[in-house]
Amino acid sequence: MAQHIVVIGGVALGPKAACRFKRLKPGSTVTMIDQSGLISYGGCGIPYFVSGDVSEARELSTTSFHMVRDVTFFKDVKGVDVLTLTRATRIDRERKQVHVENVTTGETTVLDYDKLVIATGATPRRLGLPGEDLAGVSYVCNPDDATRIRDGIAKGEVGSAVVIGAGFIGLEMAEAFADMWGIETSVVEITDQLMPRLVSPTLAAMAQRHMEEKGVGFYFGESVRALEGENGRVKRVVTDKRTLDADAVIIAAGVVPVSELARDAGLAVHDRGGVMVDEYMRTSDPDIYSGGDCAVVKHLITGQPAFLPLGSMANRQGRVIGTNLAGGEARFPGVVGSFVVKLFETSLAGTGLSLEAALAAGYDAVSVLQVQLDRAHFYPTKELMTLEMVVDKKTRRVLGVQGFGSSGDAMVGRINAIAAILPRNPKVEDISNLEMAYAPPFASAMDVLNSLANVADNVLDGINRGVGPDGFATLWNSNGEGTCHFIDCREEADADGYVQRNPGRWHNIPQGELRQRINEVPRDRTVVLVCNTGARSYEAQIILDEQGFDDVINVQGGMAAIKKYGIEL
C-alpha cells in the first residue's frame, strides 16, 4: 500500500529516514520540509571549514562524490520532494495533517500524512547576554554563520577571539582560531574544567595543558556578563572577573532540543525538552516518529533519558525510522554516550559514564588511570596514551572509559572497542581479556586497554593502592609538614634532576634495589612511590607491603601523568 510520509526537518535524521524509506517503498511518496534554504549539510564540519581544513562551505553539503545535496538532488537521485524555506506551524494529529508556512511569502498550506517524522533538531542555547546581537558574535549553527566568520578573518578583522563554553564545539572552534590563523584565542567556561561531566578533572587538565601550549587561554569558573562593542561590532567580553579583547565571539554553551511543535501537538516531551521515543523511535503517537537532536533516547547504563545531539546518532536513528516507516521493526535500543574531540595533535574521547556521572547516577564507583604506549615500545611511532576506567566497586561492572592521547585514531579505536561491549554489561575481567588485534605497529602485546583493566582489577582487589596525578598534587603541595616521603623508583639517571631540585624531599631508590635498601624507607610517614608510568611504583608498593609498611601509595600514571597534568617538580 502506497503511503505518504511527511518529514519535518532536512538536515541529518530527516534525509536519512526519508531516503531509507524511499528505497524500501519506491512506490510511496515523501515530502520533506525545512525552514531554511539549505538542507542535508554536515554541521559537524563547520569548525573545520572555519579552520581552513575544509576549503569551501559547499563541501559540507555534498556527497562523498561531490554531488550537491540540494532540492534537485533529492528529487532526481532519491525520489524525495523537498520544500525549503517552509516552516511547520502545527501538527493536527486527528486529521493527520501538518500546517506549514512559507517563511518568505507567509503563504500557508496543509500537508496530509500517513506517517510523520519530527526531525526539528536542536538550537544553540541562548545566553541572553547584553551585546549578543553585535556583529562578530556567532553561534556557529550553520554554514552561513561559518562563512561570515571566515570572511571576517580573511579581511583581517579578527585579532582576538573569545569562545564561550568549553564543550565539543567550543574547543573545536578554539582550535580552529588558534591553529590555523594565529588569532589570540581564549575560552571562558562557567564550570571549573573543559568538557565538564564528560571527562575527569585529570584528563581535562591534560587536554587543557596541551591547548595552552598551542596558545589557547582558558578562564574557568567565570561567567560572562556582557559583550561590548564599538560601531556595532563586538570588541570585548566582560566576565565576572575580567575583560577580554574580542573581535570575534563564539557562543558555544550547548544546544537545546527543538521540541515545541511536538509538545504543542500533545506528544510526550521530556521536562527539559526533547521528544520522548521508544526503541522503535516512535513518539507517544504510533504514527509519528522522532529522533536526532530533537529527541531523547534511553541511556543504556543508567536507564535514564539521554540527550546526545550528534550527527552520528541522527544517521543511525534515521535509518531505523526509515525501516519502520516501511513496516519494519528495526530497533534503536539506546546509547552509551561515545564521543571524541580532536584538540590540535591530541584527542580526548570517551564512552559510558565518567566518574562524576557515575557517582551522580548513584553508583559506588571508582576510577583508575593508566598511562602506556599505544603500540610496541620498540616501534618508532609509539606515543603515550592516558586512559581512565570507571568501575562499579561491588559488581566490577565497567561503567565507562575516557582517554587523552596523541594518536587520534589509536585513541578512538580503544574507545570504540569499549563502546561496542558496554551495552552488554562487561566486567573488568572482560576488558582484561578483550582481544585487541596485535602487531607491533598497532598495539603492545598487552594492549593499553587490557592493562587498564588489569590496573582496575588490582585496585578493586586492594593490591594496587594508588592515586592519580591530582592526588599526587595534593600530597606534594600539602607536604610542608613533612608527612610524606616521596620515593622515585626509577633508575638513578632518570631520577637525578628531581632529587637535585628537591633536596631532602625527593628520594631515589630504583625499584630493583628496593629489597636491598629497605632500611632507607621510613616507617613513620606516608610513603609515596613514583616511577615513569606507575608499573614499577606498583611493584615497589608490593615489596613494601610485604615488608610490613602500612601507609604506602603509588602514583598511577607516574611521572608521565604528572607531567601531562602540569605539575612542576
Q: Decide: is 380 part of the binding site for its own copies (CB under 8 A).
A: yes
Residue number, 278 or 429, with CB nearest to its own copies = 429
Interface positions, 288-327, toward its own copies (CB under 8 A): 310-312, 314-316, 319-320
Interface positions, 1-20, toward its own copies (CB under 8 A): 12, 16
Minimum distance from residue 497 beta carbon to its own copies (Å) = 16
Which region, judged by CB under 8 A, interacts with its own copies, from 52-60, 101-109, 227-235, 238-246? 52-60
Interface positions, 322-361, toward its own copies (CB under 8 A): 330-333, 335-342, 347, 349-351
Minimum distance from residue 531 beta carbon to its own copies (Å) = 8
Beta strands of 299-375 (E only): which ranges? 305-306, 339-343, 346-352, 365-373
Q: Decide: is 520 part of the binding site for its own copies (CB under 8 A).
A: no
Which region, judged by CB under 8 A, interacts with its own copies, from 183-191, 200-208, 225-233, 441-449? 441-449
| Dist. CA 265–CA 94, nearest whole Å | 10
Residue number, 184 or 374, with CB nearest to its own copies = 374
Minimum distance from residue 281 beta carbon to its own copies (Å) = 11
CA atoms within 13 A on the CB side of 3: 19
> Residue 177: helix, strand or coil by DSSP?
helix
Active site residue 531: no
Q: Decide: is 68 part of the binding site for its own copies (CB under 8 A).
A: no
Phi, psi torsion values for 262, nearest 5 degrees: -65, -45
Q: Decide: is 420 part of the binding site for its own copies (CB under 8 A).
A: yes
Residue number, 118 or 198, with CB nearest to its own copies = 198
With a CB cutoff of 8 Å and minimum separation 6, the contacts of 515 are 543
Classify burial at 261, counting beta carbons within 10 Å of its beta carbon; exposed 0-12, middle 13-18, buried 19 or more. Answer: buried
Q: Decide: is 376 part of the binding site for its own copies (CB under 8 A).
A: yes
* Contact mark string toward its own copies, 84..103, x via CB under 8 A: --------------------
Interface positions, 255-294, toward its own copies (CB under 8 A): none
From 68, 76, 213, 266, residue interacting with its own copies (rule: CB under 8 A): 76
Minimum distance from residue 97 beta carbon to its own copies (Å) = 28
Site size for its own copies (CB under 8 A): 108
Owner of C-alpha cell 510526550: 268
Is the separation of the CB atoms in 354 and 193 below 8 Å? no
* Contact mark string toward its own copies, 391..410, x via CB under 8 A: ----------------xxxx
Q: Decide: is 180 part of the binding site for its own copies (CB under 8 A).
A: no
| Dist. CA 401–CA 418, nearest whole Å | 7
Q: Of how many residues is the chain composed?
A: 569
Interface positions, 120-179, toward its own copies (CB under 8 A): 168, 172
Q: Per the structure block, which three cell numbers stand in for 489?
A: 623508583
From 133, 512, 520, 523, residue interacting with its own copies (rule: CB under 8 A): 512
> Residue 364: helix, strand or coil by DSSP?
coil
| Dist. CA 67–CA 45, nearest whole Å | 17
How many other C-beta atoms can be found within 10 angstroms of the C-beta atom of residue 304?
Answer: 10
Minimum distance from residue 335 beta carbon to its own copies (Å) = 6
| Dist. CA 540–CA 511, nearest whole Å | 6
CA nearest to 464, candidates 357, 554, 352: 554
Q: Decide: is 412 part of the binding site for its own copies (CB under 8 A).
A: yes
List 44, 294, 484, 531, catalytic entry: 44
- Which 3-state string (H, E, C) describes 276-309? ECCCCCECCCCCEEECHHHEEEEECCCCCEECCC
Q: Decide: is 78 part of the binding site for its own copies (CB under 8 A).
A: yes
Q: Per the structure block, which three cell numbers stand in for 491?
A: 633508575
Q: Which residues are catalytic?
A: 44
